[in-house]
Amino acid sequence: MSKRALMIGNSHVGAYMRALQQSDQDLGIDLECVAAHGDRLQAYTIEDGLFCGNFDDPDGKAARAGRKERARLADFDAILVTGMRFSIFHVTQVFRDLGVVAMDSARDHETAARNGMTLISEALLRRIIVDRLSNALAMDVVRDLRQATDLPIWVMCQPRPTRQVLVKGTRFGTFCSALERGSGAFISETYERLAHETCARVGAHYMAQPPETIDEDLFTDTRFMVGTLRPPFWQKNGRKVDFRHANARYGERMLTHLAAKLA
Amino acid sequence: MTHPYEDIPPEGFWRSGVVETDRMDWPGLHKPKFHLTHTTRVATAGSCFAQHIGRYLRLAGINVLDGEPAPKGMGEELATRFGYGLYSARYGNIYTARQMRELLEDAMAGRVDKRLFLTRKGRWYDMLRPGVEPTGCASLEEAMELRRAHLEAVLALISSTDVLVFTLGLTEGWIDKRAGKTLAMAPGVIAGRYRERRFAFHNFSYDEVLEDLRETLRLMQELNPNIKLLLTVSPVPLTATASGDHVLSASSYSKSVLRAAAGDVAAGEAAVDYFPSYEIVTSTAMAATAYEANLRGVTQEMVETVMGVFLVAHGLLDALAEMEAGETAHGARAGSDVDLRGLRALSGPAETDEEDADVEAPEDELICEEALLEALRK
């Protein structure tokens, strides 16, 4: 029998909704969704067991896409949270200026300085990253949900970007420098470990990005991203490209893993 | 002249200089040898009272250097906990003149001694600044590399500083006999374990403090010939003494030695000045209002008074008042109430700006490892 889950998030819920629409197989999960683009869920409220997104939907776009504005928590077996600034993007930024001795690019103070990095302790790095992740809107939602319900809460990993972030025009300096310095594996491992830890601290589980979807530590294999187009997107050679949002194939993998956990 | 006291100015007499004077401004108390301006590059170091000095100098718009700034986007609370922004580098509290001297010697020699890193619960601590990594380091290698980076930052800082404001805190220290270095804290308080054969208590004498201050100046001038040293003595009494004396006597000894040595170095060196923060706070005239309930922490009002005297003496409060709201600047004169209100407007409880909120922190909220000793009392 399928589990009923409430998914709360932003544009990253798309991968999961499409997975359910497009999959040939029973994923073992039924989803209802309260979501709004970007940070528009920040006015959410939880009162009397009712999660309310409190976002404007004047043209009914959200409703047409199957997204609700409110949901009663007691109607579900689990709550899923995704996006809302809980992502590797915010972690990778830290490594633009900072390094620790466990990284080859900052193995000693001279190497760190040559690479334009300030050497800090692993303890401080951990605190900085945990602070960043903890301050994500997703974690505000999780903390408040934890107060309101005993249901299991799963934070579903927002996918890493595609390699598109290395290309001029959509270039993210932080990802480029991480790749140049060979710190991708370290950043990826650090992100996964601290994402688990941050979620555990607020009584939630973290569903990591499936290894088969990851391309060289920092990126998502394009096969799991192609076919999506959600704002914000970039223009490249006259074509719109989306390097942040996963497709139904990614959503299906994640939901399959989740269903196994919930079974 | 019929007697030598005839031409002495009012501040030379107790009644006019103390009893009847304006004890907010203390006119004539501090006559700077060299003046700070808003472009003077100032560095701060010393015992925890020096955190007040650095903070108020920043508030007054002084160019207080930060040789090891907190990483971008790091919250202030976390930064403070890891020793950022307390002083001009992440050296933590430097309580004794010997520590300052040895810091400079190590920085100039690029010397990091692995014997000065001790463990607690599997974590490594730099015993020369144990408070800046409150949970310690993952490995000895990490702790040593961080110290190497710190020493380079200290070198760069001293090389680019015009005036180092150094606040002397204690004469009592703990020496690692094997390494021959003065620790920031007694072994066993933050990390390591006290062993008599290895560690020795030492109460620095007047001669030793004098020599350490002179050597500190010499080393700084080797790096930066034009640098100046502004000495102060912390008015915060000792938390505890290992001397065997009553803590009141021990505190008096410490402060007396530091005060005398600082004064004598200042008297003998053109590049050294002394600012009497210690005298202002500990004056019998201020006894009722100077300290918090624990009789150690200096009240915010008293810190404001101290810094008001300092800024007025350097002509910085006038400039500050002009920089600030026009209504404050009107008629502002050195030493006037208007000037001091200008400072308080930046720092007082009425302010709601979050950036200023830390100014309201009482002494107990300073980062002061020495206070840990109180927790060890039986």
CA B362/CA A224 separation, integer angstroms: 55
CB B99 within 8 A of CB B182: yes
* Range scoring the smallest mean pLDDT among A131-140, B79-88, B338-347: B338-347
Supply the pLDDT for residue B322.
Answer: 62
CB B267 within 8 A of CB B201: no
pLDDT at B185 over 50: yes
* Cis bond before residue B32 (omega within 30° of 0): no
More confident residue, B48 or B163: B163
Nearest to B145 among A97, A108, A127 (CB): A108
Beta strands A205-207 and A153-156, pairing class: parallel
- A112 and B CB contact within 8 Å: yes
More confident residue, A171 or B260: B260
* Range scoring the smallest mean pLDDT among A102-106, B47-51, B80-84, B262-266: B47-51
Which amino acid belongs to residue B187?
P
Cross-chain Cβ contact A121/B133 below 8 Å: yes
pLDDT at B123 over 90: yes
| Mean pLDDT confidence for A250-260 | 94
| Mean pLDDT confidence for B126-137 | 96
CA B16/CA B19 separation, integer angstroms: 6
Looking at every residue in chain A, the average pLDDT score rounds to: 91
| Mean pLDDT confidence for B143-167 | 98
pLDDT at B364 over 60: no
Q: What is the ipTM, given to two decimal places?
A: 0.84
| Mean pLDDT confidence for B189-208 | 92
Supply the pLDDT for residue B372.
Answer: 66
Confidence of residue A237 (pLDDT cuts 50, 70, 90): low
Residues of A in contact with B139 (CB under 8 A): 101
φ and ψ at B53, to 5 degrees?
-60, -50
- A101 and B CB contact within 8 Å: yes
> What percentage of chain A exceeds 90 in pLDDT?
71
* Closest to B184 (Cα-Cα) out of B129, B252, B253, B110: B129
Residue appearing with tokens 């920089």: B323
HEC states along chain A? CCEEEEEEECHHHHHHHHHHHHCCCCCCEEEEEEECCCCHHHHCEEECCEEECCCCCCCCHHHHCCEECEEEHHHCCEEEEECCCCCHHHHHHHHHCEECCCCHHHCCHHHHHHCCCEECCHHHHHHHHHHHHHCCHHHHHHHHHHHHCCCCEEEECCCCCCHHHHCCCCCCHHHHHHHHCCCHHHHHHHHHHHHHHHHHHCCCEEECCCHHHEECCCEECHHHCCCCCCCCCEEECCEEECCCCCCHHHHHHHHHHHHHHHC
Residues found in chain B = 378
pLDDT at B297 over 60: yes
Confidence of residue B78 (pLDDT cuts 50, 70, 90): very high
Residues of A in contact with B75 (CB under 8 A): 131
Confidence of residue A240 (pLDDT cuts 50, 70, 90): low
| Residue range A8-33, pLDDT digits in tens | 999 899 999 999 998 888 888 999 99
Mutate to test the interface with A, among B74, B81, B140 (most CBs of A within 10 A): B74
CA B81/CA B371 separation, integer angstroms: 15
- B121 and A CB contact within 8 Å: no
pLDDT at B266 over 70: yes
| Mean pLDDT confidence for B320-338 | 46
Looking at every residue in chain B, the average pLDDT score rounds to: 87
- Partners of B63 in the β-ladder: B41
Distance of CA A98 to the CA centre of its chain: 23
| Mean pLDDT confidence for A44-56 | 93
Supply the pLDDT for residue B371.
Answer: 67
Confidence of residue A234 (pLDDT cuts 50, 70, 90): low
- B122 and A CB contact within 8 Å: no
Residues of A in contact with B92 (CB under 8 A): none
Burial of B41 (0-12, 13-18, 19+ CB in 10 A): middle
HEC states along chain B? CCCCCCCCCHHHCHHHHHHCCCCCCCCCCCCCCCCCCCCCEEEEEECCHHHHHHHHHHHCCCEECCCCCCCCCCCHHHHHHCCCCCCCCCCCCCCCHHHHHHHHHHHHHCCCCHHHEEEECCEEEECCCHHHCCCCECCHHHHHHHHHHHHHHHHHHHHCCCEEEEEECCCEEEEECCCCEEECCCCCCCCCCCCCCCEEEEECCHHHHHHHHHHHHHHHHHHCCCCEEEEEECCCCCCCCCCCCCHHHHHHHHHHHHHHHHHHHHHHCCCEEECCHHHHHHCHHHCCCCECCCCCCECHHHHHHHHHHHHHHCCHHHHHHHHCCHHHHCCCCCCCHHHHHHHHHHHCCCCCCHHHHHHHCCHHHCCCHHHHHHHCCC
| Mean pLDDT confidence for A33-41 | 90
- B225 and A CB contact within 8 Å: no
Confidence of residue A229 (pLDDT cuts 50, 70, 90): low
CA distance B94 to chain A (A): 21
Supply the pLDDT for residue B73.
Answer: 82
Confidence of residue B342 (pLDDT cuts 50, 70, 90): very low
Packed helices B140-159 and B97-109: angle between N→C axes, nearest 10 degrees: 100
Residues of B in contact with A113 (CB under 8 A): 149, 152
* Range scoring the smallest mean pLDDT among A56-70, B98-112, B182-196, B239-253: A56-70
- B146 and A CB contact within 8 Å: yes
Tokens of A196: 């688990």
Where are chain B's structural domains? Answer: 31-375
Could you tell me the domains of chain A? 3-262 (3.40.50)
pLDDT at A97 over 80: yes
> What percentage of chain B exceeds 90 in pLDDT?
72
Nearest to A123 among B135, B141, B145 (CB): B135
CB B374 within 8 A of CB B236: no
pLDDT at B359 over 60: no
